[in-house]
Amino acid sequence: MANSGKPAKTGREKSEFLWGWLFILPTVIGLVILNIIPIFQTIYQSFFKTGDFGKGNIFVGFENYSKVFGDSEVWQSLINTLKYAVVEVPFSIAIALVLAVLLNRKMRGRSVYRTIIFLPMVAAPAAVAMVWRWLFNSDFGLINNVFHLNVKWISDPKIAVYAVAVIGIWSILGYNMVLFLSGLQEIPGDYYEAASIDGATGIKSFFHITIPLLSPTIFFVLVTRVIGALQVFDLMYMVMDKSNPALDKTQSLVYLFYKYAFINKNMGYGATIVVLLLIITMIVTVFQMIGQKKWVFYN
């Protein structure tokens, strides 16, 4: 091993190389077949006026794109999606962070609380949506009846998208919290001790120790949640009936994609909408990557 320069591999290195690849192979195959290839197929499809059952596709160049850019429904859906993301992401991160810090202390029934907060994550999204649909129901719903309100939570175009975002926050809290908890456990206790000796209060050490040291985790959660929020579909689909007057002002881009691709059977137009979403997601993520240099600290 002393004579460097040549990458002559020892038996051990070879075996590590082989096994390493072997271990990631299943995941790689899965990614390629289920994600990478479909992405390119989708882009390819967006240049076609698709025929029934994938037969008889006609190449139309950028026609779908020029239609998408002129379609007010698409832009409205983009606005809806952004509204959803702007509410869901910050709140779900902030609340989860506070909960994680509170539940990271030694206290009675800690694991019970953790389990309860994580539970929505385990429940099927369809079931979650059904329960919330009932809670939000303007005539028979629990919320309106308990508080004697008459708010059309999910059918008033002005507030429906935020009501849906509340469901999103509620169901993702536990997941974010668990990620933050694991991040918090990486922070050595000495820092807090030193800080308290210097007279720092809990709040101060939260902002000056916890947040900076947790920033890689926060960044990871932020990036994945933004992407997740831009792809929101199941909540709108399950909670909103097709005859809902607020649907226009609530439907997300993926919902619109579903409508065109699977209900109206216009795969080409649907594909164009998701390509638009893909581009937007990439732009947002690139900006976040650039922005992280300003606030994320890696040890």
Q: What are the residues binding another protein (CB under 8 A)?
A: 19, 22-27, 29-31, 34-35, 37-39, 41-42, 45, 52-55, 133, 137-140, 152, 154-156, 231, 233, 241-246, 248, 254, 257, 261-267, 270-271, 274, 277-278
**Nearest to another protein of 103, 271 (CB atom):** 271
| DSSP state at residue 157 | T
**Nearest to another protein of 101, 256 (CB atom):** 256
**Nearest to another protein of 50, 210 (CB atom):** 50
**Nearest to another protein of 218, 253 (CB atom):** 253
Compute the least distance from the CB of residue 282 to another protein, in Å.
13
Compute the least distance from the CB of residue 73 to another protein, in Å.
9
236 neighbors 226 (Cβ within 8 angstroms): no
Choose among 162, 130, 107: nearest CA to 241.
130
Burial-class residue 131 by CB neighbours within 10 Å (0-12, 13-18, 19+).
Answer: middle
Task: Kindly tell me the sign of the dihedral angle through the C-alpha atoms of 271, 283, 298, 194.
Answer: negative
Compute the least distance from the CB of residue 14 to another protein, in Å.
16
Compute the least distance from the CB of residue 186 to another protein, in Å.
24
**Nearest to another protein of 147, 298 (CB atom):** 147
205 neighbors 195 (Cβ within 8 angstroms): yes
Compute the least distance from the CB of residue 273 to another protein, in Å.
8
The CB-based long-range contact list for 2-7 (8 Å cut-off, 24+ gap) reads none
For the chain, give percent helix, strand, coil, nearest 5: 75, 0, 25
